[in-house]
Amino acid sequence: MDMKHFLLVLAVLLSCLVLNGNPISVMYVSRLWFDINGDFWIHIGPDYDIPFDVHTTQVHTGSGVYDFPATYEQPAQQYFSINLSEVIPGFTIDPVSDFFFLDTEPWGQLTWGNLDDYSVNVHPLSSGQSAVHVRVPWITPEGPQHIETWVKDSEVNTAELFNTDARCTINLHLRYENGDPVINYPVYFYPDPPNYVYQSAVSDANGDISHSSYAMRQRVTVLGSSGTPLLEQLIFCEPGETYNFADFFPNTSAEDEFVPPALARMIVFPNVLNRLSGNTIHLQLDEEPKLKQASVIELYDLKGRQLANREIKAGEELSWQLPELGSGIYFLRLKTADRELGTAKLTIIR
C-alpha cells in the first residue's frame, strides 16, 4: 500500500472512531476563501499530530481533479495557507457555484451555489468572508456527538483554527391563536442534511426561543402533536444576522395543553454488519416487531444523501435486505406519510 492510500485509510478509520464516541478525529482543511483577485485559498494542516503531505492527496472541484506539482515545496510548519489558483497549474473553481474537497478528507466536502439552490451547504462567499471547518454538537441516535460541518465567518482569520466566533441568531415566538404564549415547547434545529441529528431548545414563559449558532445551513422545525410540522423553515444563516419567526398553535386557550410529539425508540439488530453477518437487518419500534401503519424506511450516508428506501406495509415485520455498501457509518430513518417515527445508526465494516 502506498503512502497516499495508507493516509486515506487511516483518516477513514479515525472518522469512524469519532462517530462511535471516540474523541479522536482528523480534519485537514481549516478554512477556505477567495481573495480580492478571485484566487482560491485554503488553510491546511491536521488538527491532530497525524502526518500529512499535500503530495499524497488530490484536490477535487467541479472542473476536475488536481495534483500538487512535484516542484511544490510544502512549508515546514504544521499549519499553512496555499493559494491553489497560483500553485496548481490550470486550477479552476467557480466562486458562484462549485464544490471542493481533498480525497484524504472526502467527508469534508463543501458545496456552494446560488441563492435559489437549496442543495448546497452554503451560499457563495461574499467579499472578505471565509468558510470554516468546525465540529458542532448535535443529538444523534447514539446520543450527543460532535459532527463535522462547514460554517461561514465574516473574515479570514487563519489564527483561529477549526473554529470561529461568528454567529447568527434565530428567534421564534410561539403563541396560541388568542395570543397566549406556548410555554415549554420544543423546537428542533437540523443541519439538513443530514436529518437524523439535531439541536433543540424550549420556549420560555413568554413563548420565546432565542437560538444562537454558527452561521450555517439549518432547518427550523416545530412539530404538532400528530408529528406534522407546524413550521418548517430552511435558513442559510449569514454571520451576524438575526432571523425572526412567529408560529401560531391551533389551541384557543393556554389552558388546553398542546402536547409535543415524542419520537419512538428504534432498535436495529445487528447494528454492525461485516462480511460474515450478511446485509439483512431487523428493526423494532418501541419494542414492537410489527408496525400498525404503512411506513417507509430510508437509508442515508454521512452526507445526508438518501441511498435507498423501502416501503413497509402495516403489520409487516421490519426486516430489510440492504444494497451493497462500503465500510462506514450510515443512518436509518423510519417515517409515515406525515411524521417521523424513529432513527438509528448502522455501522458497516468490510
Q: Domain segments of the chain: what residues?
A: 3-153, 168-249, 266-348
DSSP 8-state secondary structure symbol assigned to residue 106: G
pLDDT in the model for residue 329:
78
CA distances from residue 187 to 48, 237, 238 in whole angstroms, order as listed? 35, 17, 20
Cα dist from 5 to 8, 47, 191, whole Å: 5, 20, 31
**Under a CB-based contact definition with an 8 Å cutoff, are residues 162 and 206 in contact?**
no
Cell output for 342: 424513529
Q: Give the three cell numbers for residue 329.
A: 457509518
Q: How far apart are CA 310 and CA 321, in angstroms?
A: 10
For position 251, what pLDDT does the model report? 58
Max CA separation in the chain (angstroms) = 73
Q: Tell me which residue has cell 469512524.
A: 16
Amino acid letter at 267?
I
Fold (topology level) of 168-249: Immunoglobulin-like (2.60.40)
Distance CA 178, CA 248 (A): 9
The dihedral built from the CA positions of residue 85, 214, 332 and 227, taken in this order, carries a sign that is negative
Are 100 and 195 a contacting pair, CB within 8 Å? Answer: no
Angle at 234 between CA 246 and CA 134, to 5 degrees: 115
The SS3 assignment for 94 reads coil
Q: What is the pTM of this model?
A: 0.69
CB atoms within 10 A of CB 140: 19
- Same CATH topology for 168-249 and 266-348: the answer is yes
Closest Cα partner for 286 from 221, 344, 206, 222? 344
Contact 150, 237 (CB under 8 A): no
Q: In what order do the strands lie in the sheet with 80-83?
A: 80-83, 40-44, 29-34, 130-140, 143-153
Partner residues linked to 169 by β-bridges: 212, 242
What per-residue confidence (pLDDT) applies to 298? 87
pLDDT at residue 107, as a whole number:
74
Residue-level pLDDT at 37: 96
Tell me the average confidence (pLDDT) per consecutive run of 10 residues in the chain, 350 residues long: 47 43 66 97 82 90 96 92 97 97 86 89 95 87 78 95 94 88 89 74 93 94 72 91 86 48 65 78 64 79 81 75 85 76 77
Cis peptide before 51 (omega within 30 of 0): no
Q: Are 40 and 56 in contact (CB under 8 A)?
A: no
- Architecture of the 266-348 domain: Sandwich (2.60)
